[in-house]
């Protein structure tokens, strides 16, 4: 009996030691992987009522977990320091969207993305300053543990030339919101976060570019070499097969197309014009199954929410329907906003349903919107060209480089439908993606709809 007790004690010893160290059991044992991730538009956003959480980093982690046959649990952190704390405390197997440093505390995968570091101010305040930008006598906010905080601390000097305020457990977007609201003079961030924020805060402007680029990858404690190697292998494969590029395009491919004045105008129209038509867009969602905010984004791109808009080519109304399309959809007055909105929603839903089953969301919707502009005949022709070019006809990331070819004679002469301005269709879809993203943040969902993730 004593020997049996000793054997059982020694068998349990690794488990006891493991628990004492505060580390999680390997994910293969539990069938689940726990990942710390930053809150924000570049990594993880919980859009209740819109298909759940989404984000570039989340999609990449989901794909990694799927490749291992594991489920994922996310622990959402406000900033880089909180992200690292979750890893230090053994609460996560790894941390996604972590700043890659050389301090030796963690081991990192190769970068998933790289970005410049900047200091951002309010456009009104910067207009009053003499170039080059000077931070002397000002206040600059940074998040604890961010790479910008380290650089700015060195720039401030002793005694400090400017005041550096470090914020704990705060998303970078909240720092930028404070600048836009003139609650603070400057905030530090990276170029990607700035470009994303411009969609909601168009009064921001770059005040100063900090030296060097920063990389963001997945961080592991040094003991987890096996899991880190699997992550590196997965990322290498994702780069090779285009998964990384497709996810990057899904979230960031459209962000720099609109100018800040376009965004500012759109935000103003959300307040002044959208309330008149909001309920009709919501009603159209009920009949079509398409998020009312996407329908509103389409209408804004088409007509700037002008019910009597008319183009030189004869398309008219809020959703800019052709006469033939309106007739097919039973519209007797294209300038009636109710008829136009409902017909446009039905048309988009019909185009989406006509695509093959293998086209997945959100690509299915973006391709349907391209067909809304070009017609399904032209889109199908472009998809055939994509196959011949060994590109994926089911992926918007691939198709947006194929569609402009429809304006070139060596391509459109092979189509029954003839020439098309495919480049304009790409711009239309990319702008709609931007407007839709803004509306998702500004306006609540009406009720659950199809998932575009």
Structure confidence by residue, pLDDT tens digits, 52-75: 788 899 999 999 999 999 999 999
Residues 121 and 107 in one domain: no
pLDDT at position 18 is 34
1: in domain: no
Residues 87 and 141 in one domain: no
Closest CA to 290 of 334, 347, 337, 354: 347
Which has more confidence, 257 or 338? Answer: 338
Residues 380 and 272 in one domain: yes
Residues 6+ apart with CB under 8 A from 405: 382, 385, 411, 422
3: in domain: no
Residues 92 and 180 in one domain: no
DSSP β-bridge partners for residue 311: none
Instruction: For the chain, give the number of residues.
Output: 453
57: in domain: yes
Residues 6+ apart with CB under 8 A from 4: none
Separation of alpha carbons 376 and 354, rounded Å: 9
pLDDT at position 272 is 97
Residues 87 and 150 in one domain: no
Which has more confidence, 304 or 40? Answer: 304
104: number of Cβ within 10 Å? 7
4: in domain: no
276: in domain: yes
Residues 119 and 109 in one domain: no
Least confident among 184-188, 198-202, 280-284, 327-331: 198-202
Burial of 90 per CB tally in 10 Å (0-12, 13-18, 19+): middle
> Is 302 labeled as catalytic in the residue annotation?
yes
Which residue among 107, 302, 398, 430 is the active-site one? 302
pLDDT in tens, 117-172: 999 999 888 765 655 557 888 999 999 888 899 899 989 888 888 999 999 888 88
Q: Whole domain around residue 375: which residue ranges?
A: 262-442
Residues 107 and 47 in one domain: yes
Residues 156 and 236 in one domain: no
Tell me the CATH number at 157: 3.40.190.10
Structural domain ending residue among the three candidates 188, 214, 240: 214
Residues 62 and 139 in one domain: no
pLDDT at position 50 is 45
SS3 letters across 153-215:
HHHHCCCCCCEEEEECCCCHHHHHHHHHCCCCCEEEEEHHHHHHHCCCCCCEEEEEEEEEEEE
Residues 267 and 375 in one domain: yes
Residues 224 and 284 in one domain: no
Give the tokens for residue 190.
Answer: 């990276």
Tell me the CATH number at 393: 1.10.530.10
DSSP letter string, 255-283: TTSS-HHHHHHHHHHHHHTHHHHHHHHHH
140: in domain: yes
Domains in the chain, number? 3
187: in domain: yes
45, 437 contact by CB (below 8 A)? no
User: Token match 């990449």: residue?
Assistant: 60
| 251-288 core/surface letters (b: 16 or more CB in 10 A; e: else) | bbbbbeebeeeebeebbeebeeebeebbebbbbbbeeb
Separation of alpha carbons 290 and 452, rounded Å: 10
Least confident among 18-27, 105-114, 317-326: 18-27
Residues 6+ apart with CB under 8 A from 273: 305
DSSP letter string, 314-381: S-BTTTTB-HHHHHHTT-S-TT-HHHHHHHHHHHHHHHHHHS-TTPPTTHHHHHHHHHHHH-HHHHHH
Phi and psi, residue 213, nearest 5°:
-100, 160
Separation of alpha carbons 77 and 35, rounded Å: 10
Residues 372 and 228 in one domain: no
Calculate Rg over the CA atoms of the chain. Answer: 25
16: in domain: no
361: number of Cβ within 10 Å? 13
């Amino acid at each position: 009996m004593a020997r049996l007790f000793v054997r059982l004690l020694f068998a349990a010893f690794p488990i006891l030691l493991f628990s004492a160290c505060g580390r999680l059991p390997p994910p293969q044992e539990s069938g689940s992987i726990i990942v710390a991730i930053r809150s924000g538009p570049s990594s993880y956003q919980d859009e209740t009522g819109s298909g759940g959480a989404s984000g570039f980093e989340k999609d990449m982690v989901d794909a990694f977990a799927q490749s291992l046959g594991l489920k994922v649990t996310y622990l959402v952190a406000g900033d880089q320091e909180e992200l690292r704390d979750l890893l230090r405390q053994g609460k996560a197997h790894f941390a996604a969207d972590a700043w890659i440093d050389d301090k030796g505390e963690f081991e990192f995968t190769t970068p998933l993305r790289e970005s410049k570091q900047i200091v951002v101010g309010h456009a009104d305040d910067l207009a009053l300053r003499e170039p080059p930008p000077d931070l002397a006598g000002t206040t600059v906010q940074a998040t604890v543990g961010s790479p910008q905080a380290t650089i700015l601390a060195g720039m401030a000097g002793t005694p400090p030339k400017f005041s550096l305020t470090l914020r704990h457990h705060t998303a970078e977007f909240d720092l930028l919101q404070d600048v836009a609201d003139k609650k603070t003079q400057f905030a530090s961030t990276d170029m990607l976060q700035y470009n994303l924020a411009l969609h909601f805060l168009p009064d921001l402007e770059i005040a100063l570019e900090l030296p060097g680029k920063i990389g963001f990858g997945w961080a592991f404690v040094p003991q987890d070499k096996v899991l880190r190697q699997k992550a590196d292998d997965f990322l290498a494969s994702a780069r090779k097969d285009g998964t990384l590029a497709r996810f990057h395009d899904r979230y960031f491919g459209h962000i720099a197309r609109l100018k800040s004045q376009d965004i500012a105008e759109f935000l103003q129209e959300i307040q002044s014009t959208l309330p008149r038509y909001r309920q009709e867009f919501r009603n159209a969602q009920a009949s079509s199954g398409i998020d009312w905010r996407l329908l509103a984004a389409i209408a804004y791109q088409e007509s700037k929410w002008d019910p009597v808009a008319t183009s030189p080519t004869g398309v008219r109304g809020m959703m800019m329907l052709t006469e033939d399309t309106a007739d097919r959809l039973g519209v007797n007055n294209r300038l009636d906003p109710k008829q136009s909105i409902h017909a446009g929603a039905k048309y988009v839903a019909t185009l989406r349903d006509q695509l093959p089953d293998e086209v997945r969301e959100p690509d299915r919707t973006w391709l349907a919107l391209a067909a809304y502009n070009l017609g399904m005949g032209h889109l199908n022709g472009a998809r055939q060209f994509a196959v011949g070019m060994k590109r994926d006809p089911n992926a918007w990331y691939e198709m947006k480089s194929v569609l402009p070819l429809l304006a070139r004679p060596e391509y459109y002469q092979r189509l029954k439908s003839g020439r098309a301005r495919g480049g304009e269709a790409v711009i239309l879809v990319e702008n709609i993606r931007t407007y839709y993203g803004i509306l998702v943040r500004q306006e609540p969902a009406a009720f659950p709809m199809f998932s575009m993730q």
